[in-house]
């Protein structure tokens, strides 16, 4: 059995009250025998006004045609009501007014303030409020005390409805801004991921190309593994770009499972792909390090290793041994990358990077409540070490 939501129940109750109020309007219309239009039924004008208002207010959103804009939905009932009031005033027919038409105009005012485009909001809202305040003039003298009291009541109702609509519109605006900022931040993060992946692979291609040029003169028979590494790095770079561009073209929900971030398992692939004939990479992972660490902790660890290896290629290409360690730190994760290089590199100056990699990496680790340190390792080498708590998200 399909359940009905509280919102659906409230809407159904409101629709029922509105229809009952409109029926009451029709029953009391022209009860004194007078009519706004000569030789017509006294109920015909008010019936036309109510039908226009009900169609504008209650038309289902899923079946609403494109031409039925919020401007038209709010202006049509107000214009019909104003014409009815002006006709009653000109003909001198004192026709009663009921709650149905007033509810329709208040609903139109709500729609105008909350849903109309900004340049239409004030005009449509003023039209609905004016139509509501004109209603008492059909039956009461404009200078009567009763008419003044009803105008005051109408102004209070207009203020309450308009204020509530402004509040909801402000919430809608804030929600839209929050969603937009979230999407923008997500895309900036994805772009940063793309930079990290491509910079890592392209730096590897550059280093191995230089190696291949040297080996072409001294060890041409050993070129095939180097060329295979270049091919693999280029393929991985293209795959990273393809995945990231695909994520940027998808919605946030669809992209959640495809965002190209790494994990602890990816660190092993990273170190295996980094190793070369002149550089040995050793991965030491303590058995206490769990695979069930939070995803953001694993992604941060992957970024630490990736950035550290990329910097070794850029600034310490003479390093012969690189050690990557993953250790348990009171339930968190300590990841370190150390090398024995002396800072020798033959990369062009343009390939050294802008120096913002460690800055962004520190922001990522700090956001998780961790610490990042990078500096010399004794007399020889360099070490990057991060401690990332697993309990804080």
Compute the C-alpha angle 126/132/136, nearest 5°: 140
Quick one: DSSP state of residue 324? E
Task: Please provide the DSSP assignment of 273-314 as one string.
Answer: HH-BTTBEEEEEE-TT--TTS-HHHHHHHHHHHHHHHHHHHH
- 88-146 pLDDT, tens digit per residue, is 877 776 777 789 999 999 999 999 999 999 999 999 999 999 999 988 877 765 556 77
pLDDT band of 287, cuts 50, 70, 90: confident
pTM: 0.54
- 158-187 pLDDT, tens digit per residue, is 999 999 999 999 998 998 888 778 767 766
Containing H/E element for 20? helix 6-28
Mean per-residue pLDDT, 70-78? 93
Token pair recorded at residue 103: 């509810």
Q: How many CB atoms lie within 10 A of CB 215?
A: 18
Q: Which of 310, 315, 309 is nearest to 344 (CA)?
A: 315
Q: Which of 32-36, 206-210, 235-239, 254-258 has the weakest average pLDDT?
A: 254-258
Mean per-residue pLDDT, 41-53? 84
Terminal Cα distance for the chain, rounded: 40
Q: Residue 222 above 80 pLDDT?
A: no
Token pair recorded at residue 88: 């009653």
Quick one: DSSP state of residue 352? S
| Domain ranges across the chain | 10-139, 261-393
- 371-385 pLDDT, tens digit per residue, is 989 888 877 888 999
Instruction: Identify whether the C-beta of residue 135 lies closer than 8 Å to the C-beta of residue 89.
Output: no
Residue with tokens 């020889």: 380
Domain 261-393: which topology? Heat Shock Protein 90 (3.30.565)
* pLDDT of the residue at 184: 75
* pLDDT of the residue at 345: 56
**Dihedral of the alpha carbons of 219, 222, 225, 231, in degrees to the nearest 10:** 50
Mean per-residue pLDDT, 353-363? 64
């Amino acid at each position: 059995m399909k359940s009905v939501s509280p919102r659906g129940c409230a809407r159904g109750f409101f629709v029922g009250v509105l229809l009952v109020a409109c029926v009451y309007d029709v029953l009391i219309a022209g009860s004194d025998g007078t009519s706004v239009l000569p030789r017509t039924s006294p109920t015909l004008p008010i019936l036309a006004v109510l039908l226009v208002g009900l169609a504008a207010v209650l038309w289902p959103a899923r079946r609403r045609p494109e031409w039925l804009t919020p401007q038209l939905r709010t202006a049509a009932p107000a214009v019909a009501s104003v014409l009815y009031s002006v006709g009653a005033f000109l003909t001198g027919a004192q026709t009663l007014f009921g709650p149905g038409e007033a509810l329709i105009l208040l609903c139109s005012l709500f729609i105008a303030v909350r849903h109309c485009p900004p340049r239409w909001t004030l005009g449509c809202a003023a039209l609905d409020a004016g139509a509501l305040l004109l209603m008492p003039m059909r039956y009461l003298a404009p200078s009567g005390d009763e008419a003044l009291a009803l105008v005051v009541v109408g102004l209070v109702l207009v203020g309450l409805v308009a204020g509530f609509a402004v509040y909801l519109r402000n919430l809608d605006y804030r929600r839209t801004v929050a969603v937009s900022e979230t999407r923008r931040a997500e895309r900036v993060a994805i772009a940063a991921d793309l930079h990290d992946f491509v910079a890592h692979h392209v730096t590897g291609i550059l280093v191995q190309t230089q190696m291949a040029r040297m080996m072409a003169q001294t060890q041409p028979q050993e070129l095939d593994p180097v060329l295979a590494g270049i091919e693999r790095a280029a393929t991985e770079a293209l795959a990273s770009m393809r995945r990231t561009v695909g994520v940027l073209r998808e919605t946030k929900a669809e992209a959640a499972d495809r965002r190209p971030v790494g994990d602890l398992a990816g660190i092993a692939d990273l170190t295996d792909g980094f190793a070369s004939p002149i550089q040995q990479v050793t991965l030491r992972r303590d058995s206490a390090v769990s695979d069930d660490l939070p995803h953001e902790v694993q992604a941060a660890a992957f970024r630490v290793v990736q950035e550290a290896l990329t910097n070794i290629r850029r600034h310490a290409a003479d390093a012969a041994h690189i050690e990557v360690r993953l250790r348990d730190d009171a339930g968190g994760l300590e990841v370190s990358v150390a090398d024995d290089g002396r800072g020798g590199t033959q990369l062009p100056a343009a390939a050294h990077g802008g120096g913002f990699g460690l800055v962004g990496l520190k922001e990522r680790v700090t956001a998780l409540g961790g610490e990042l340190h990078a500096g010399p390792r004794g007399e020889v080498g360099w070490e990057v070490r991060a401690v990332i708590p697993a309990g804080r998200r």
